[in-house]
Amino acid sequence: MPSRRSADSIEAFAPYAEQLRALPFVRRVDPRAVNGMRGERQLDLVADIRLSDGTRQRRCVEVKSSHLDRSAAHHVRALFGDDPDEWLLAAPHIGAPLGDALEAEGVQFIDLAGNCHLRFGDAYLARVQGRSPAKPPARSKSLRSAGYQVLFALLVRPELVEGTQREVADAAGTSRQPVIDLFERLVEERILVRRGRRHEWVEERPPALLDRWLAGYRSHVRPRLDEGRYRLAAETPEALEAHLDAQLGESVRYGGTAAAHRLVGHYRGPLTVAYLGAPTAKLLRALRARPTREPERSGDLLWMRPFGTASVEGATEDTVHPLLVYAELMSDPDPRAGESARRLRERYLAWSF
């Protein structure tokens, strides 16, 4: 029997089905709720599409409730596994940069304005770009950095929805007000429900929240964590890590490909992402580190700040939380970082599928 989530997916897909029906070669679109798996991906919705020549095409549908940025292309491609041609991404707005990135990844998509990249065999191809999204209602005000930090804390520690405001704020590294604001928002969106003074998930950690976190990390959180690129005497990532470990010991927490290489192997980029706190004058002297805007070289350090207790709850003692590692990997345009992100998600973020 289809789940409540599947039924909700049909309702959410309805405006996208209307955009599909507006295409000249589409005669009919019939969405159907399912409850199963496609590879390792939960499948809630398929769309049977009848074309003008009488043939039928079927697409597994992934409906996103939030806007995506260009960095999402690797993430979506990883979600669709080995058969991206069998999937259709439906998202509120897909601008030109993301549309180009998705097309390059072989991902078919459609948005609420009708922007799309669709291919049905060799006979039909649609590529629409440049349509603007409808103006959102005033109440859909975007989150700020602190709100996204609270969202991160709830994703990595879902039991916090039943905790106190102070417990959530400590995990997120914020004051209590962003906690209050986000909880009210999630109740309004029917993601949480109130139970007296506590809250409960309607569906624990729905996929839309991961998409929202990834977009917010790139646009709001990461710029606040980034303290800049620094250059030390070390000329290789290995020498840099040895120097940091010798000077700072167990206080070093790695992110990005430095963390991913520890967790899943595969790829270690030339830039070392490390969460070291504030770059005080004393610490800079101890590390003999200087800020640089020179062209990036192997052995450079990207100095980041951790936030709250949840961010440093790594899978190992010297890495930040896997979700923070994943977000940084998804911000890296190198395809090898995208592959590392896929492997890390499968091993450490299985709840997100």
Q: Is residue 215 part of a domain?
A: no
Q: Are 24 and 94 part of one and the same domain?
A: yes
Q: Are 32 and 78 part of one and the same domain?
A: yes
Give the DSSP per-residue string, 240-265. HHHHHHHHHGGG-EEEHHHHHHHHH-
Q: Are 186 and 98 part of one and the same domain?
A: no
Q: Are 164 and 86 part of one and the same domain?
A: no
Quick: pLDDT tens for 202-238: 989 988 788 889 888 988 999 999 999 999 989 899 9
Residue at 299: amino acid letter = G
> In Å, how far are 18, 159, 225, 233, 310 from 167, measured between CA atoms?
44, 11, 22, 41, 11
Q: Is residue 198 part of a domain?
A: yes
| Residue closest to 184 by CA, chosen among 207, 150, 208, 210 | 150
Q: Is residue 156 part of a domain?
A: yes
In this prediction, residue 135 carries a pLDDT of 60
Give the count of domains, the chain.
3
Q: Are 200 and 230 part of one and the same domain?
A: no
Which structural domain range is residue 332 located in? 225-346
Q: Are 201 and 117 part of one and the same domain?
A: no
Report the C-alpha gap between 45 and 259 in whole angstroms: 35
Q: Can you give the pTM of this predicted structure?
A: 0.69
Structure tokens given for 298: 């192997």
Q: Are 251 and 153 part of one and the same domain?
A: no
What is the arithmetic mean of pLDDT over 267-285?
95
Quick: pLDDT tens for 103-141: 999 999 999 999 999 999 888 999 999 988 766 544 445
Please provide the size of the chain in residues.
Answer: 353
